[in-house]
Structure 1
C-alpha cells in the first residue's frame, strides 16, 4: 500500500513533526481528521514538546488549543473520579488497578497528554468483583437492568461488568476482572496481572510493559476498530517513552507476552507500527518473534486488513474494499473473543436486537437502572 499524501502528513505530524514544514500542510483537512479521531489535544502536545507551535497557522492553532483545553479538563475529571473510586474501594480492602486511559493519566505517560476519555477502567479480582460492585453502587454508581441474555453474557462469558454511571456526575466506570473475555479461553490468570502492579501516587497501575501489552491486546483481540488509529498512536508514544526509560523494556515485554500467550499479538503490533509509522521498535526481540510468527497468514492480515482498518476513517484517506476489510476484522475479532459455537448464536441474537431497536426504538425495551438497593 502507498499511503495517501494526507495520511503521511498526519502521521508525520503526530510522530516526527520536526521532519515536515508545518506551514505547507493541508491544515483544513488535518484539523477535521484530528477532531474526528479525538487527537486535537494530542497534536497540540506533540508540537509543544517539539517547540513547533509557533509555526502553526493561527486558525489551526486555535483548534489545537481548544482540543488541548477540552482534553485537560477531561484528564482532571479522570483524576478526580479515580481518587474517589480508589478511596471507596481501598477502604473496603480492595485495591483497584486502573487500566487504559485512566492508567495512562495516573502514570502521566506521554500518550495521556491531550488524550480524551470516554470512561474509567478498573480491574479487580473475580473474587472481589461483587463486593466492589456493591461498594460502587453504595457510592452513587448504577447500571441498567439487563435482559436475561445480557446477564448471562456478562456473568459467564465476559471479562467485565456492564458499565456503571454515576447518578449525579454522569461519569462511567467499567469494572473488569480480566483483560479479555473468559469465554475466549485465553484470559490470563489474575495473579500474572497482579504481579505487574506498580503504585503511582497511591494508585495501582500496570507496569510499563504490562500497560503496553494490555493496550495491544485490547486493540487486536477486538471487533471494533473505530479508534484504531488513535490506539496505534498510543502504542507508538508508549514505545517511544518506555524504551528510553527502561533498558530492559522490550525483553520484559516479550517475557510477559510469552507468559500470557500474547506473543503473536506482540509480533503483529510491532509489524503494524513499522508499516503505519515507519518505526522499527523492539529490534532486539523481533528475530525471536519472526521465527515463530512470520507466516503467510499473519502477513496477509497485516498487509491486507489491519493496515487499512487502522487508518483514520476519512474520505481523503480512502482505499478500496473498505467494507470487506472492516467486516473481516470484525469477524476475526469476535472469533478471537468467542468460540464459534457461541459466536454464531451471539451474532444472530445481536442482529435481532439491532433490528428490533431500529424498528421500535432503542429505548423502548430499556429496563430501569439498577442500584442494588
Structure 2
C-alpha cells in the first residue's frame, strides 16, 4: 500500500506516467486510488492526456467501471441541482453551489471523475430561513438528530443540519457562511455573492478564485481528512486550470486576504505543490505563507502530510495520532475554548448510560 500511494501521487503529478506502470504496480495503485475516491479520476486524466489505450486490460476495466459510477454521480447531481433550483427560485438573492456541485455545474477540470456525497449551497444569512422553508416545501427535511445537535448547528456552525429528500435520498448542506460565526476572525462573504455567476442549471457558482479559496478552507480547517487527498487533487486541478500568470496568482492571494482566509489557501498551495507538483510560483507561495503568519510550521505540515493518505495506507500509530490531533485542531479552529469545553462536556455526559425509565425527551 505504501508503494501504491507513492505511485498514485506520481501519476497524479504526471498522468502520462500511467503508460509506464506494470500490471503489478497497477494492482497497488488501483487499490489505493479506490480508497482515496480517485480511481475514476485516474481514468479521466489518462483519457485527457491520451494514454488510456496504453494501460493494461485489467486495470483499464477497473478505471472504466469507476468512470461509469462517477458519470452516474455527475448526472444525478445535475438532475438534483435542477430540482433545488426550482425550489429556491423565489429566493431574492443568489443560491451559490460550493465544492463538488459547483465543479459539475461550471464544467471545470475538478469535476473529472469526481464522486459526491451531498450538495453544498450557500445563501446570504438574511435569506437563510426563507431558503430552508423553500427547501422543506420541495421535500427536503432535517435528518433525525437530537435537540442538542440541532441547536449546535444553528447556534455555533456556518450551516444548518443536513437536509435529506425522502424519495431521491439526496442530501443538502445549506450554508450561510464559509466559516462558523463563532470562529476566530470574521469572514465577509459579500464579495462571493457579488461575483457569483448563474448557470444553465438555475443556481449560481462562485468565481474561480472563490471556488479555490473555499475548497482550501474546507480542507485545511477540517476535522476529518478522510477525503483529504481527493480534495487536494481538486485544488491541484483548479490551480493548474486557472493559474496561467503570476498576476493571477498574486490576485488569488490578495483575494484570500480580503476574505480573511489566506492561511488555508497558503496551506493548500504548499501541500499541492509538495505532494502533487502543482506549479505554484515559489515567490507567490512564500508571500502567501508570510501573509498567513505561518513561517515554518513543520509540525502542522507533518501532521497534514500524515493525515492525507487514505485509511488503507495511513495505518501506523503515528498516523492515527496525527488524525486525532488534526481532529482536535479542527474543533479549536471552529470554537472558542469556553464553547468547546461546554460542547465536549455535553458529549461526554451523553455517553454515560442512563438508568432505565429515566429517559425524557429533550426540549427543543
Sort the Cα spacing of 1:234 and 1:352 in 2 relative to 1 into closer, same or farther, 3 A.
Answer: farther
Question: Separation in 2 of the partners of 1:144 and 1:191?
Answer: 29
The answer as to whether partners of 1:178 and 1:187 remain within 8 angstroms in 2 is no
2:271 aligns to what SS in structure 1? helix
The answer as to whether partners of 1:308 and 1:319 remain within 8 angstroms in 2 is no
Using the TM superposition, give the Cα deviation of residue 93 of structure 1 relative to its aligned residue in structure 2, in angstroms: 2.9
Question: Separation in 2 of the partners of 1:153 and 1:56?
Answer: 49
Structure 1 match to 2:327: 330
Question: Separation in 2 of the partners of 1:272 and 1:237?
Answer: 13
Using the TM superposition, give the Cα deviation of residue 356 of structure 1 relative to its aligned residue in structure 2, in angstroms: 5.9
Sort the Cα spacing of 1:61 and 1:169 in 2 relative to 1 into closer, same or farther, 3 A.
Answer: same
Structure 2 match to 1:193: 192
Using the TM superposition, give the Cα deviation of residue 199 of structure 1 relative to its aligned residue in structure 2, in angstroms: 2.3
Structure 2 match to 1:12: 10
The answer as to whether partners of 2:122 and 2:175 remain within 8 angstroms in 1 is yes
Structure 2 match to 1:286: 285
The structure 2 residue matched to 1:345, chosen from 334, 342, 345, is 342
2:223 aligns to what SS in structure 1? coil
For residues 30-82 of structure 1, give each alpha carbon's deviation from its aligned partner in whole angstroms, at most 9, with x where no partner exists: 21222212212111101000111111111111111111011111111111111
Using the TM superposition, give the Cα deviation of residue 300 of structure 1 relative to its aligned residue in structure 2, in angstroms: 2.3
Q: Structure 1 residue 123 and structure 2 residue 122: aligned? A: yes
1:321 aligns to what SS in structure 2? helix
Question: Separation in 1 of the partners of 2:361 and 2:103?
Answer: 34
Q: Structure 1 residue 34 and structure 2 residue 33: aligned? A: yes
Structure 2 match to 1:208: 208
Sort the Cα spacing of 1:168 and 1:126 in 2 relative to 1 into closer, same or farther, 3 A.
Answer: same
Sort the Cα spacing of 1:292 and 1:122 in 2 relative to 1 into closer, same or farther, 3 A.
Answer: closer
User: TM-score, normalising length from structure 2?
Assistant: 0.90
For residues 161-194 of structure 1, give each alpha carbon's deviation from its aligned partner in whole angstroms, at most 9, with x where no partner exists: 1111112111111111011111113341231321
The answer as to whether partners of 1:94 and 1:132 remain within 8 angstroms in 2 is no
143-152 or 164-173, which deviates more: 143-152
Using the TM superposition, give the Cα deviation of residue 252 of structure 1 relative to its aligned residue in structure 2, in angstroms: 2.4
Structure 2 match to 1:232: 232
The answer as to whether partners of 1:270 and 1:282 remain within 8 angstroms in 2 is no
Using the TM superposition, give the Cα deviation of residue 273 of structure 1 relative to its aligned residue in structure 2, in angstroms: 1.4
Structure 2 match to 1:222: 222
The answer as to whether partners of 1:31 and 1:40 remain within 8 angstroms in 2 is yes
The answer as to whether partners of 2:96 and 2:196 remain within 8 angstroms in 1 is yes
Sort the Cα spacing of 1:353 and 1:42 in 2 relative to 1 into closer, same or farther, 3 A.
Answer: farther
Question: Separation in 1 of the partners of 2:150 and 2:318?
Answer: 36
Question: Separation in 2 of the partners of 1:208 and 1:181?
Answer: 22
Question: Separation in 2 of the partners of 1:366 and 1:77?
Answer: 38
Sort the Cα spacing of 1:160 and 1:293 in 2 relative to 1 into closer, same or farther, 3 A.
Answer: closer
Sort the Cα spacing of 1:189 and 1:295 in 2 relative to 1 into closer, same or farther, 3 A.
Answer: closer
- 1:1-373 maps to which residues of 2 (within 5 A)? 4-19=2-17, 21-23=20-22, 26-201=25-200, 202-244=202-244, 248-293=247-292, 295=294, 298-302=297-301, 304-315=302-313, 321-353=318-350
Using the TM superposition, give the Cα deviation of residue 83 of structure 1 relative to its aligned residue in structure 2, in angstroms: 1.1
User: TM-score, normalising length from structure 1?
Assistant: 0.88
1:118 aligns to what SS in structure 2? coil
The answer as to whether partners of 2:87 and 2:135 remain within 8 angstroms in 1 is yes
177-186 or 208-217, which deviates more: 177-186
Sort the Cα spacing of 1:287 and 1:34 in 2 relative to 1 into closer, same or farther, 3 A.
Answer: closer
Sort the Cα spacing of 1:355 and 1:85 in 2 relative to 1 into closer, same or farther, 3 A.
Answer: farther
The answer as to whether partners of 1:159 and 1:179 remain within 8 angstroms in 2 is yes
- Name stretches of at least 5 consecutive residues in structure 1 with no aligned partner: 368-373
Q: How many positions carry a matched residue from both structures?
A: 359
The answer as to whether partners of 1:79 and 1:106 remain within 8 angstroms in 2 is yes
Sort the Cα spacing of 1:7 and 1:36 in 2 relative to 1 into closer, same or farther, 3 A.
Answer: closer
